[in-house]
Structures are given as C-alpha cells and as structure tokens.
A and B are shown apart, each in its own frame.
Chain A
C-alpha cells in the first residue's frame, strides 16, 4: 500500500475502532451514570428489583435491608407480564410494573420492622408467592429486636381456626328451612330493637351468626318473629356494625387479592382456585376448592375472629396464602365485612 493508502487504512481503522468501542461501552457508561446519579440519589440506596412470574423465579431479590430514615430508591421492572409492587401494612400506593418498562419509587421507613412487599396483579398460577421482605433496622437503637405486634383476636381468645364451624341444632334446623339468604334490608323493615350484645362490635367479632340466632331465638322479646326473620335481624346486626366506606374498602381489597380464587361472587369458583384442594384434604366431605362465602351453613358457624385468623395465617394446606403481613387491622376487618355480605341477600351482588 502506498503512503496515502496507509493513511487511509489507519483512518478507517480508527473510525471502526471508535464505533465499536462506542457500541460496546456506551450502554455501560449510560447505565453507570443512571445508577450513580449522585445529585438525585444522594444518601439513597438504589436497588434494582426485577419482577418475574413466580414460576420463573419471582422477585430478583426477596430480601432488602435498610435502616430507619434511609432513602430506598427502587428501580422496578418486569421481565415477563404485568406485575405490581406494594408494601404491606403501609399506605404507599401500589405501582404497576409493565414488561420492559422501569418505574422508580423512593421509600423511607420511619419505624423498624419487617415489611412485606408483594405483587397485587394476578401474574400467574403462583402469583401469591411473589413476596419479599424489607427488613428495616434502627441504627440509633441498641436493640436489634423488632417491635412485636399485638396478637390478633383469634389468638387472644384461643380459637382453633382449623376447627370446622359448629352451628348448634337450633340454628342448623332453621337454616335448613330457609328458602333464600337473610337480608339486612328485610331485618331493618321489621323495626325491632337489637339486644345489647348485637349492638356491640366486639361481641359480633367474637361470636358466630349462629350464636346470635340462638340468642335471639331464646329471647322471648322476639317470639313473634319467624326463624327466617330472626336470620334477617342477624344479618342486620352484622350489616349495622360496619359502614359503606369499610365495605367499599373491603371490596377493593377482595377484588385485588381474593377474586381470582374465591370468584367475583364469593362462590369459591375463581379460575385460579380450580386446582386448589381447599379443606378437602382435612375434611373429605367438604367440596374441593376455595371457600364458598355464599354458603350460609358454613358462614353462620364462623365468627369474624375466626375469619380473621384464616386471613392472617392462611389456610394450612388449602392453598390459601397468608395476608397477615400485608393487611393492616382495618384492612382485615374491611375484607371480612365485605365477605360477610356474600351470605346476605342483595348486598355485594
């Protein structure tokens, strides 16, 4: 090659080298500047969290450690389908994570504790496994112990939440004669005064509708009411113990977290619940699959505290996940209040 040719050759090599280096190095350089955005992320810990269906590995990290007051800068993305990111027992808004897109959020915890983060989108058959823990410690405190939450009602009362519901002969017989579901509206139309117990929220939470029925049936004040009307009054008692706002909140949570298995109408016929064993392993006579909340014989024998226990702990071996780490106490009672409505006429329909 002549000198001019050699010069041209070296120029070409330089151009090619620059282009190839740019092609390889640019992505890493840009990414480095993004994750080391000192001004924006000062004093923040940046964590990239990838969501994948549980069958494909779930969250890329299921344990995050941080300290009280430390800013946690999360970069969330999904590798497959739409997921979401929520932190249990907090008011932080739920973030949708679309496939291939990156959403960011900053979290600052003001109390130490174990916070569960989870997906609220029904992303796959094992959606409920998409959970992880953010462990928040307080560096200013010597103790590494996390505050212990107050035991739930069913534990305080020593309820066996795996025991099958008991109705008692009086309630069982009367339920067998019912031609439809009890109605709070019909109960209100009777214009009867509820006994003191049925006006106390704590009593209602710790007793079953069947017990309430027996209380009323054995009270001579209500002798002129038919059994069906007594059940309407019981329905009214539970309905009166809650508010429309609470039921609406429960409905939102039920739609988000429960519908896939328990079905839109609470019949236990949701598509994600088809292959779940339910209680059948323990009690062969029980129908396979998630609980049917429209089944009055079953619901009348369960107290709210019992239902809370199921919600908090999950159904061991039934396929029902635990929601204790996700829901605040108010959210738990809201879901229970909404679920109760499935065994009443007109409400939740």
Chain B
C-alpha cells in the first residue's frame, strides 16, 4: 500500500558537468584506455608468468578491478563500469561504423535478440559456470587470458549478428551482476518529464540522430524505472532533442520500491549471487583443503561433486529455503496473494544483503592483497622488469586490523537494509501488522544467511 517519492538531485543541472557528459571525448578516451588495458591484460595472461601474484592479468583483474568494482563503482555508480567496459566496445564500434561520431556505416545483421532469451537466465547460467571454474580462473593467468579473449570475441560476434548491445544486456554474467545490484546505487538516468516524452513522436533517444545513437541497451528512457538496463552511456542525453534527460543523484536503494521489472529470472539471479558468495567464501577463504582441491581440480570426481553442490545450493537449496520462508510468512499473515508473486517480490528485497555480502567478501582479500598491484605495475608479465622501481616491494597487507570490523559492519548493514525492504515490500500488499508477520520468516532467512557469512569471513 506504500508509495513513496524519493528525493533526487539532478546532476545535469550543473552546466560543466552536463557538457562533460554530453561530450563524446571523455567517454571515448576512458574506453580507449580500458580497451588498451584489457588487451594488455589478455597478452599478460597468455604469455606472462604463470604465477598469479606476479601477473598483471590476475592482479589487475581479480584484485584491483574487482575491488574497484565491488567497493566503489557498483555501490556508488551502478552501471558506471558498463559505460567504459572494454568487452563490447569493438563490437559496438564495428556495428556503428565509428568510434565517436554517429552516422557511420556500420556492419552487422542487426537481428533482434530472441524473445525467449530476453531475460537474465543466460547471465545466471554464465555466472554459475564462472563459479564452477572460479578456483582455476582466478589463479591461473592463462585461463584468465583465454576467458577474457573469449568474452571479447563473443561480444564481437553477437554485435555482428544482433542489434545493439545484446551481449551486455542478455549474456554477460558480470553485466547481470552489475545490473542486479545497480538498483541500489545512488545514480540514475531518467526522463525529467514523462509528458514531454509522450508528445515527442520521433523518440530520438530510441532511434538515434546526428547527436547520439539510439539507446545501445535497447532501453526506452520514458519507461526507465530502474537502473538494471541502463548502461549510463549517456547516448540518450546526447540524442534527446527535447533536453528531457536527467542524470540524478538519489538515495541508495531507490529502485527497490519499483514493482516493474521484478521477475523470476531476476529473483533467481539474486539467489545465484547470494549462493555464489557463500561458495566463493568457503572455497577461497575457508580452511577446508579438500574443498579447495576439489574446486581446483577441474574434471576430477571431487570437482563434479563441488559443481553439483554449487549448483544445487545456489539454484535449489537457497531459493527453496527462501520459498519456505515466504510461504511461512504468507501463512502467518493470512495472505491470499500468489506465492510466486510474493516469492519474486520478497527476493528483490534481499538485493542489499547480497551486495553487502559481496562487499564483505571483497574486503576480505582486497586490502590484504592490494600491495601486489605495486610490484605488478613495474613487472606486469613477471619477466623480471622493474619499470617504476616498485617490482621488489614486499607483499604488505593493508588495514588488516580493520578488515574484520568492516566486514561485520557491511554484513550487519546489509541485514538491516534488507530487513527494512522486506518489510516495505510486504507492506505493498498487506496492512502493517500482517506485513510484519509476512516479513518475519524472510528476515530470519536473512539473519541465518548473515550469521553464516560472518562465520565464513570473520570466524
């Protein structure tokens, strides 16, 4: 029953900032640099040292970039990374026939993405597959190099066959991850006045014009109610002839109030993320040698058991327990609402908990291992270089005494944040007291999950 209009501050009201966002050059330069870095990463992965801690590919992708993404870019910028991600760039430039200026003669069949796959089931599957091979991918530079090369080639091929950024929106597992959690980020692109859009017949934000391409993410700005499918590329800001697009700062978690976009595939992606962070924490930070061995030795019987447990836990046990919690809450509240609908709605409330669990997981190794960045900067291939005189800097864990505290704060913060939304979402359909009863078992589920993560990460 609750409707709440959250406050926003429009960043595009600041003239210099708007000019910066509209200009193609800052974004192009950032993209060009990340693409060059990406190519360097692939080269380092494929021909550099096989020792992960001395290879740019492992240290920059799985420590530096991952830390930046999880602790800064995603919580504060949503899909900001997607706007400069190098993976779809080459495909997009081929498709558009230009690097900066619209109007080029592009290549590609321009087919529509199949309707059946217009969801996040493929990214869910992709993230599951990444999880199965994570122990190898995250430690072996060659594997990281091949995976990144595979991603970029797949993105190019899909750009040549399908229209716009089909790879980003429907295939990329990291894109799915970012899309899911970008809903809580405090930045958004939205239309200023829907009435203006309604009377704008050309819809240049969708079709494109001389100033900007039609939305590469195939979003329709007037219909944008959440960040999931907005890549923050600013094309609509450039192409809107009515100057009706705004970039806003808003409260954290604003999209969670939006009912539109809640779907079973998104819910399951959330459970894949929730389960994956548990499994990753157990494998990478736990003290169970057999589990590490099983995860690392791909193709062995132990690995098959690990794979079965990972998939069963993320796609079966966790959603199953959550379903039981929702069913119990529904029974306690005497709600007549559809169980499926309640399950989907409540599963979106645990997005903050999932994000904070990933933040806590990332904190556990990012500070401890960040000092590898300095030595790898001087010797990115592990070939004995010392370009900046930092190659011999010893490994030094940072903030080791603060790490457990930050992790506890992140997890408890995530629990409180999620509990608030569990209650609010329950109140969408139920009176306050019934909503509280509906929310209680789901909160218990979140509490048990939080305790489990605290045990895994802090001990």
Residues of A at the B interface (CB closer than 8 Å) are: 1, 5-6, 8-9, 12-13, 15-16, 19-20, 22-24, 26-27, 30-31, 34, 75, 77-80, 99-102, 104
CB-based contact A15/B50 at 8 Å: no
B449 within 8 A of A: no
CB-based contact A23/B43 at 8 Å: yes
CB-based contact A5/B382 at 8 Å: no
5 tightest A-B contacts by CB? A100-B54, A102-B384, A100-B51, A19-B36, A12-B99
B222 within 8 A of A: no
For residue A140, give the distance in angstroms from its CB to the closest CB of chain B: 34
Residues of the A chain whose Cβ atoms lie less than 8 Å from the Cβ of B29: 15
Q: A31-B383, A100-B54 provided; 12 other pairs, C-beta below 8 A?
A: A1-B98, A1-B103, A1-B104, A5-B101, A16-B35, A24-B40, A27-B381, A31-B381, A77-B384, A99-B54, A100-B51, A101-B382
For residue A17, give the distance in angstroms from its CB to the closest CB of chain B: 10
Residues of the B chain whose Cβ atoms lie less than 8 Å from the Cβ of A78: 51
CB-based contact B104/A23 at 8 Å: no
For residue B269, give the distance in angstroms from its CB to the closest CB of chain A: 33
Chain B interface secondary structure, helix, strand, loop or mixed? loop
Per-position contact with A for B269-313: 1 when CB-CB < 8 Å, else 0?
000000000000000000000000000000000000000000000
Assembly CA distance A6 to B100 (angstroms): 10
CB-based contact A9/B384 at 8 Å: no
Assembly CA distance A104 to B382 (angstroms): 14
Residues of the B chain whose Cβ atoms lie less than 8 Å from the Cβ of A100: 49, 51-55, 382
**Residue in chain B with minimal CB distance to A10:** B99
**Residue in chain B with minimal CB distance to A19:** B36
Chain A interface secondary structure, helix, strand, loop or mixed? helix
Assembly CA distance A27 to B407 (angstroms): 38
For residue A258, give the distance in angstroms from its CB to the closest CB of chain B: 28
B37 within 8 A of A: yes
B374 within 8 A of A: no
What are 11 inter-chain pairs, A to B, with CB distance below 8 A?
A12-B32, A20-B36, A23-B43, A27-B43, A27-B47, A34-B384, A78-B51, A79-B50, A99-B51, A100-B54, A101-B382
CB-based contact A27/B44 at 8 Å: yes
Assembly CA distance A79 to B11 (angstroms): 50
B380 within 8 A of A: yes
Assembly CA distance A27 to B45 (angstroms): 12
CB-based contact B99/A13 at 8 Å: yes
Assembly CA distance A22 to B101 (angstroms): 24
**Residue in chain A with minimal CB distance to B98:** A9
Q: A8-B101, A99-B51 are in contact. Are A15 and B32 (CB under 8 A)?
A: yes
Residues of the B chain whose Cβ atoms lie less than 8 Å from the Cβ of A22: 36
Residues of the B chain whose Cβ atoms lie less than 8 Å from the Cβ of A19: 32-33, 35-36
Assembly CA distance A20 to B380 (angstroms): 16
Q: A16-B35, A34-B384, A100-B55 are in contact. Are A23 and B99 (CB under 8 A)?
A: no
Residues of the B chain whose Cβ atoms lie less than 8 Å from the Cβ of A104: 384
Complex partner residue of A77 from B36, B44, B98, B382, CB under 8 angstroms:
B382
Residues of the B chain whose Cβ atoms lie less than 8 Å from the Cβ of A30: 385, 387
CB-based contact B39/A9 at 8 Å: no
B417 within 8 A of A: no
**Residue in chain B with minimal CB distance to A16:** B32
CB-based contact A24/B43 at 8 Å: yes
CB-based contact A102/B101 at 8 Å: no
Category for how many chain B residues contact A: 20 to 34
For residue B373, give the distance in angstroms from its CB to the closest CB of chain A: 14
CB-based contact B101/A1 at 8 Å: yes
| Residues 93-111 (chain B) with a chain A CB within 8 angstroms | 98-101, 103-104
CB-based contact A12/B28 at 8 Å: yes
For residue A50, give the distance in angstroms from its CB to the closest CB of chain B: 9
CB-based contact A79/B385 at 8 Å: no
Residues of the B chain whose Cβ atoms lie less than 8 Å from the Cβ of A75: 384
Residues of the B chain whose Cβ atoms lie less than 8 Å from the Cβ of A31: 381, 383
Which among B48, B383, B387 has the highest number of chain A CB atoms within 10 Å?
Answer: B383
Residues of the A chain whose Cβ atoms lie less than 8 Å from the Cβ of B55: 100
Residues of the B chain whose Cβ atoms lie less than 8 Å from the Cβ of A8: 100-101
Residues of the A chain whose Cβ atoms lie less than 8 Å from the Cβ of B381: 27, 31
Assembly CA distance A79 to B141 (angstroms): 11
Q: A8-B100, A27-B44, A101-B54 are in contact. Are A79 and B35 (CB under 8 A)?
A: no
**Residue in chain B with minimal CB distance to A26:** B40
Assembly CA distance A24 to B42 (angstroms): 10
Residues of the B chain whose Cβ atoms lie less than 8 Å from the Cβ of A24: 39-40, 43
For residue B85, give the distance in angstroms from its CB to the closest CB of chain A: 16
Assembly CA distance A30 to B37 (angstroms): 17
Residues of the A chain whose Cβ atoms lie less than 8 Å from the Cβ of B53: 99-100
**Residue in chain B with minimal CB distance to A25:** B43
For residue B77, give the distance in angstroms from its CB to the closest CB of chain A: 23
CB-based contact B33/A34 at 8 Å: no
For residue A96, give the distance in angstroms from its CB to the closest CB of chain B: 14
**Residue in chain A with minimal CB distance to B28:** A12
Assembly CA distance A104 to B383 (angstroms): 11
**Residue in chain B with minimal CB distance to A52:** B50
Complex partner residue of A23 from B40, B49, B51, CB under 8 angstroms:
B40
Assembly CA distance A102 to B52 (angstroms): 14
Per-position contact with A for B156-194: 1 when CB-CB < 8 Å, else 0?
000000000000000000000000000000000000000
Residues of the B chain whose Cβ atoms lie less than 8 Å from the Cβ of A79: 49-51
Residues of the B chain whose Cβ atoms lie less than 8 Å from the Cβ of A34: 383-385
CB-based contact A9/B36 at 8 Å: no
For residue B326, give the distance in angstroms from its CB to the closest CB of chain A: 48
Assembly CA distance A102 to B384 (angstroms): 5
